């Protein structure tokens, strides 16, 4: 009897100790930003499936997060913010519902179920003990039920192994037993650094859990595009745009894909929408590095839609910040105008090329375009030499510009 | 037996609860209209409270949303027929609140598509959250006493707006006679 009590005491110590330890290690948010993240993580995005406000990038989630941030900065308490969100968007969005009303059942039912289970176990133990009691009144013991004990130990070991495996897979922000929200976040992070084929599988898994996850849909489309699955890729990208027309990344992906298949007008439309979105600077850095806008404008000009191409470049100039990004766009603008060989436009184009060189004297396109225009179009070959010299001193210049220089007779080769 | 009975009761209770969809359509109807305060495109302060005594249509929209683009001519037509110049038609003020949009795009949108009513485009997130807006377009008809009389989820059609206004006027008149 004494050994049974010791076992129960040990179980009690372990359970209570674990609960206390887990509660103690859950540090309360300290800064306003941490509070906003914590609150946003406790509420579902009202229009998404399985995503919290903290995870979703759809407009309504961004808007609500901003409102929460404002309230926190104003000094409102967490309870006030929670109350506001539940009042405005309903109890359905609350991942930790109050104990009031019908939703209180989510708190009461597990306790009732646990209590019932405890009573059932206690009752079973008593029956076993009674069955093991000797007629002459000997001590009660579990030893008479070795198979039961072995079964319990085996189950405990199995549960321990499963929990340990889950713990080994989790990230620092995952719950011990894992949950849908944390899992998808982890999967998205893994997919971001995975090879396209592997990333596509991960994004598909995320979409099985959260069909309206725009980030997963857009990036799966892009992964598929990169491995050559063009039709399904475009379908993903179209669907992502329908779900969230204001998600900058998908606009860039679809513009790139449309440009590659010769749909320059469609690609330009995506970038024009992007320019109205107040996208993060990194998006424009990527656009600048890839020269996507310039390539689309060039495609439009080749198709006889010069004005649309110029509009696209001008829109980029309005949205771009920083001289180097402007240099590339101005250079393309000048090049396209000068290529018309209409005197007024050539003059205008040369002015743009001058501006481009002034904005970034080391922009290879500005230098080569100006040299070619001066030499072959404007009849000013003497002015091309300086640009050729600067370009020739560049390390690893773009191969297409070398070809252009050769074809324009500006190199000795 | 007991477990089965409890389960049956729970199923009944949850099955007959208001769904999220019901809430989407009826949210705020009959309640005091939340605040709408902000600078319009001309930099003039606009406050819903200043409109007491007038019917107001609060329209949440975005320039990148297709139903919003499609509903705009309907709003223009509705605004023209309720601008107060026709004594047979009740005057209704419209205010548009841009949702997750840029001021430049909004100004350009109104310049290209018409619409002479005030439009709030800057720092409108809090207004949208106060009104519980989850997707645009959404429109709310506010009574002269500042209560939400009707809500439209999705693009509006002028005829539907006229019907909503007629119903709201009838209800207000009935209420006044009591």
A305 burial class (0-12, 13-18, 19+ CB within 10 angstroms)? middle
Q: What is the rounded average pLDDT of the residues B86-104?
A: 91
Contact A90, B19 (CB under 8 A): no
User: Are B100 and A89 an interchain contact pair (Cβ–Cβ within 8 Å)?
Assistant: no
Q: What is the rounded average pLDDT of the residues A164-180?
A: 46
Pick the residue of B61, B125, B126 with the most A CBs within 10 A to test the interface with A by mutation: B125
Q: What is the rounded average pLDDT of the residues A393-406?
A: 86
Identify which of A63, A92, A105 has the shortest CB distance to residue B125. Answer: A63
Query: CB contact, 8 Å: A219 with chain B?
Result: no
Pick the residue of B7, B31, B127, B134 with the most A CBs within 10 A to test the interface with A by mutation: B134
pLDDT digits (tens, 9 = 90+) for A6-42: 777 777 777 777 767 765 665 666 688 888 888 999 9
A137-146, A227-236, A379-388, B32-41: segment of lowest average pLDDT: A137-146
Instruction: Tell me, letter by letter, the H, E, C secondary structure of chain A.
Output: CHHHHHHHHHHHHHHHHHHHHHHHHCCCCCCHHHHHHHHHHCEECCCCCCCECCCCCCHHHHHHHHHHHHHHHCCCCHHHHHHHHHHHHCHHHECCCCCCCHHHHHHHHHHHHHHHHHHHHHHHHHHHHHHHCCCCCCCCCCCCCHHHHHHHHHHHHHHHHHHHHHHHHCCCCCCCCCCHHHHHHHHHHHHHCCCHHHHHHHHHHHHHHCCCCHHHHHHHHHHHHHCCCHHHHHHHHHHHHHHCCCCHHHHHHHHHHHHHCCCHHHHHHHHHHHHCCCCCHHHHHHHHHHCHHHHHHHHHHHCCCHHHHHHHHHHHHHHCCCHHHHHHHHHHHHHHHHHCCCHHHHHHHHHHHHHHHHHCCCCHHHHHHHHHHHHHHCCCHHHHHHHHHHHHCCCCCCHHHHHHHHHCCCCCC
At residue B19, the 3 state secondary structure works out as coil
All residues of chain B having their beta carbon less than 8 Å from the beta carbon of residue A66 are 125-126
Element (H, E) at B146: none
What is the C-alpha separation between A180 and A207, in angstroms, rounded? 12
What is the C-alpha separation between A292 and B50, in angstroms, rounded? 49
Q: What is the rounded average pLDDT of the residues A323-332?
A: 82
Average pLDDT over chain A, rounded to whole?
A: 80
pLDDT digits (tens, 9 = 90+) for A338-397: 999 999 999 999 999 999 999 889 899 999 999 999 888 878 878 788 899 888 888 878
Distances A241 to A213, A251, B10, B16, B105 between C-alpha atoms, Å: 12, 7, 40, 36, 18
pLDDT of residue A375: 87
A1-10, A214-223, B115-124: segment of lowest average pLDDT: A1-10
A83-92, A103-112, A143-152: segment of lowest average pLDDT: A143-152
User: Are B99 and A63 an interchain contact pair (Cβ–Cβ within 8 Å)?
Assistant: yes
Q: Residue A137 pLDDT more than 70? A: no
All residues of chain A having their beta carbon less than 8 Å from the beta carbon of residue B10 are 105
pLDDT of residue A322: 54
pLDDT band at A174 (very low <50, low <70, confident <90, very high): very low
What is the C-alpha separation between A269 and B75, in angstroms, rounded? 26
pLDDT of residue A175: 46
Pick the residue of A70, A97, A246 with the most B CBs within 10 A to test the interface with B by mutation: A246
What is the C-alpha separation between A186 and A26, in angstroms, rounded? 20
At residue B142, the 3 state secondary structure works out as strand
Distances A334 to A19, A284, A300, A313 between C-alpha atoms, Å: 68, 20, 15, 10
**What ipTM does this complex have?**
0.78
Q: Residue B20 pLDDT more than 60? A: no
Q: What is the rounded average pLDDT of the residues B58-72?
A: 91
Number of CB atoms found within 10 A of residue A356's CB = 27
Of A258, A267, A315, A252, which Cα lies nearest the Cα of B105?
A315
pLDDT of residue A176: 47
Distances B74 to A74, B62, B64, B134 between C-alpha atoms, Å: 39, 15, 17, 22
Identify which of B14, B100, B130 has the shortest CB distance to residue A59. Answer: B100
């Amino acid at each position: 009897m004494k050994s049974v009590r010791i076992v129960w005491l040990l179980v009690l110590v372990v359970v209570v100790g674990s609960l206390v330890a887990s509660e103690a290690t859950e540090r309360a948010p300290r800064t306003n930003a941490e509070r906003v993240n914590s609150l946003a993580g406790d509420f579902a995005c009202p229009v998404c499936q399985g995503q919290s406000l903290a995870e979703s990038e759809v407009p309504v989630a961004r808007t609500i997060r901003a409102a929460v941030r404002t309230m926190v900065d104003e000094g409102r308490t967490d309870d006030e913010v929670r109350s506001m969100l539940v009042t405005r968007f309903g109890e359905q969005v609350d991942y930790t519902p109050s104990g009031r009303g019908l939703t209180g059942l989510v708190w009461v039912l597990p306790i009732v179920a646990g209590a019932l289970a405890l009573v059932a176990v206690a009752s079973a133990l008593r029956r076993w003990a009674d069955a093991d009691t000797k007629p002459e009144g000997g001590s009660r013991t579990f030893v008479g039920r070795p198979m039961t004990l072995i079964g319990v130990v085996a189950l405990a070991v199995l549960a321990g192994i499963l929990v340990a495996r889950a713990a080994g897979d989790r990230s620092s922000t995952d719950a011990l037993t894992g949950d849908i929200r944390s899992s998808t976040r982890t999967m998205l992070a893994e997919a971001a650094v995975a090879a396209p084929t592997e990333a596509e599988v991960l994004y598909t898994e995320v979409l099985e859990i959260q069909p309206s996850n725009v980030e997963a849909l857009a990036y799966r489309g892009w992964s598929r595009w990169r491995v050559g699955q063009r039709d399904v890729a475009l379908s993903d990208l179209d669907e992502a745009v329908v779900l969230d027309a204001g998600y900058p990344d998908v606009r860039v992906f679809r513009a790139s894909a449309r440009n590659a298949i010769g749909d320059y007008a469609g690609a330009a439309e995506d970038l024009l929408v992007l320019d109205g979105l107040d996208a993060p600077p990194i998006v424009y850095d990527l656009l600048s590095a890839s020269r996507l806008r310039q390539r689309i404008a060039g495609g439009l000009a080749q198709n006889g839609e010069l004005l649309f191409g110029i509009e696209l470049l001008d829109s980029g100039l309005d949205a771009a910040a920083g001289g180097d990004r402007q240099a590339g766009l101005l250079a393309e603008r000048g090049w396209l105008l000068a290529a018309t060989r209409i005197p007024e436009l050539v003059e205008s184009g040369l002015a743009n090329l001058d501006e481009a060189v002034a904005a970034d004297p080391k922009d290879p396109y500005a230098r080569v375009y100006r040299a070619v225009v001066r030499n072959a179009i404007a009849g000013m070959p003497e002015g091309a030499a300086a640009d050729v010299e600067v370009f020739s001193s560049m390390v690893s210049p773009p191969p297409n510009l070398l070809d252009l220089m050769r074809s324009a007779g500006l190199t000795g080769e | 037996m007991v477990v089965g009975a409890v389960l049956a009761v729970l199923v009944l209770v949850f099955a007959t609860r208001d769904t999220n969809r019901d809430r989407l359509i009826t949210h705020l109807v009959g309640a005091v209209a939340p605040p709408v305060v902000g600078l319009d495109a001309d930099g003039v302060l606009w406050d819903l409270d200043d409109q007491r005594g007038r019917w107001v249509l609060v329209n949440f929209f975005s320039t990148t949303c297709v139903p919003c683009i499609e509903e705009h001519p309907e709003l223009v037509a509705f605004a023209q027929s309720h601008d107060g110049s026709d004594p047979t038609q009740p005057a209704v003020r419209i205010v548009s609140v841009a949702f997750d949009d840029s001021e430049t795009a909004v100004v350009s949108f109104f310049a290209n598509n018409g619409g002479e009513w005030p439009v709030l485009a800057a720092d409108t997130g809090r207004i949208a959250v106060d009104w519980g807006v989850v997707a645009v377009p959404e429109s709310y008809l506010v009574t002269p006493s500042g209560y939400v009389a009707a809500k439209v989820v999705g693009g509006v059609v002028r005829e539907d707006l006229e019907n909503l206004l007629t119903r709201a006027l009838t209800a207000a008149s009935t209420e006044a006679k009591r």
